[in-house]
A = this chain, B = another copy of it.
Amino acid sequence: MTTKELMMRAKQEARAGVPDAQQRNDALRKMADALISHTDTILAANKIDREASKDSLSEVMMDRLKLDEKRIAAMAQGVREVADLPDPLGRTLHARTLPNGLEVKRVSVPMGVIAIIYESRPNVTSDAAALALKAGSAVILRSGRNAWESANAIVQAMQEGLAAAGLSKDRILLVEDKSRDSAKELMHGNGYIDLLIPRGGAGLIRTCVEEATVPVIETGTGICHVYVDESADEDMALNIVENAKTSRPSVCNAEEVLLVHRSKLASFLPKLQERLTKRDHPVELRLDEACAEIIPGTPAGEADFDTEFLDYILAVKAVDSVEEAIAHINTHGTHHSDAIITDNEDNAAKFTALVDSACVYVNASTRFTDGGEFGLGCEMGISTQKLHARGPMGLEELCTSKYVIHGDGQIR
């Protein structure tokens, strides 16, 4: 099927109406069952993908691509958990009876058609489809090329689940055209695509923001900062910096840059060096001039303060004040997650008010930025934009609203 045909089908399906909550949840559970019962087919497809990719992908990327029985079971479990979440549709967000008797209600309704362009991570196929289905939308998935066969096998299983629950297979469609043209068609699918979510690296997201004429939610690259203020508890700061940097360096909420108040350099930096460089997996410290005078490390280049390393690397810089820290973060950050470690309430208040990021922390690790951690139950990614969704995107953010007005003949 051409991408245009896919978009037309999805739109038609979305316009036909929304299955009720029970039907959607039933379909999700049958999709989970089908993922399990298709485990062999999915693993065979995944093997083809991995064979074809083994010379072109890094070790980390190969690991992301790889499926096994346990990972498929986890995907199915994820789909079941989405079924158990409360229905995001039909909530009354606003209700008012006007003096003339008109009843004005704003209610949550589906977006319509959601398109998702993502990298070669097979589990995103089921995660994204499950969330979009629960949110009442038809979904068009465009997988990264290296996971093409896996995505096909997963979507076939999920479509079987849809059919078993009496829903149309057109609720979950997979792009068939491997070329870049298909991504561009989605980006320009005005009239068909109600929301496009790019999930992946900085390049993909930039292309979508610059090219797309359909509405896009940017999901986040994260150059996240921790600022150690003059009054910070140094032990707390060490724990938080180590956790934010090393607990999972490849994710977007990991710390990339450490800012330290100048008055703290002499006491804090030696402890930092001890903690971060003498561990099993040592962290490379890239130091500005002031910091390099105190501890050994790599001299930081200008680009180091504008880089999402996603690795065991931390750029470290001295600042003169909380104001300088805030200005640095607003200029060099990606408006994702930033933290201050301080005992000074005024500085904490200044930091949370003026740092222009989706999530601002006082005395905690940036690693908590996550739909599950925040209690949303799930997550479609972390939005670093300000329109519609900001921070972890749950089911609510995958819906829109509509005004429904009932009268008995009112005119204006």
Give A residues with C-beta under 8 Å from B: 15, 17-18, 96, 98, 102, 104, 106, 111-112, 190, 194-195, 209-210, 213, 215, 217, 233, 236, 239-240, 242-244, 247, 327, 330, 348, 352-354, 356-365, 367-369, 373-375, 385-388, 390-391, 400-412
Contact = CB atoms under 8 A, between A and B. Distances in A.
Given A387-B387, A400-B390, A247 B412 contact: yes
A104 B370 CA distance: 12
A239 B409 contact: yes
Contact of A213 (B106, B210, B387): B210
Contacts of A330: 15
B411 A247 contact: yes
Contact of A387 (B217, B236, B403): B217
5 contacts: A98-B373, A217-B387, A361-B407, A364-B408, A391-B403
Given A360-B405, A362-B404, 8 more contacts: A15-B354, A17-B354, A106-B391, A352-B404, A360-B404, A368-B412, A391-B401, A391-B403
A200 B240 CA distance: 50
B357 A402 contact: yes
A18 B407 contact: no
B195 A240 contact: no
B353 A17 contact: yes
A369 B405 CA distance: 10
A236 B210 CA distance: 49
B365 A410 contact: yes
A242 B411 CA distance: 9
Nearest to A367: B412
Chain A interface SS verdict (over half): mixed
A39 to B, nearest CB: 31
A410 B98 CA distance: 48
Given A96-B374, A390-B402, A412-B373, A407 B17 contact: no
Contact of A364 (B242, B368, B373, B405): B405
A236 B356 contact: no
A368 B410 contact: yes
Contacts of A358: 402-403
Contacts of A362: 404-407
Contacts of A373: 98, 412
Nearest to A243: B411
Given A247-B412, A387-B388, A409-B363, A102 B356 contact: no
B387 A195 contact: yes
Contacts of A244: 411
Contacts of A363: 406-410
Contacts of A388: 387-388
Nearest to A341: B409
Nearest to A354: B17
**6 cross-chain pairs, A with B, having the tightest CB-CB distances, nearest first:** A364-B407, A243-B411, A388-B388, A386-B400, A367-B412, A236-B409
Nearest to A355: B402
Nearest to A96: B375
Nearest to A217: B387
| A195, A236, A368, most chain B CB atoms within 10 A | A368
A89 B358 CA distance: 16
A391 to B, nearest CB: 5
B409 A112 contact: no
A411 B327 CA distance: 25
Contacts of A190: 209
Contact of A401 (B348, B368, B374, B390): B390
B239 A360 contact: no
Contacts of A375: 96, 98, 104
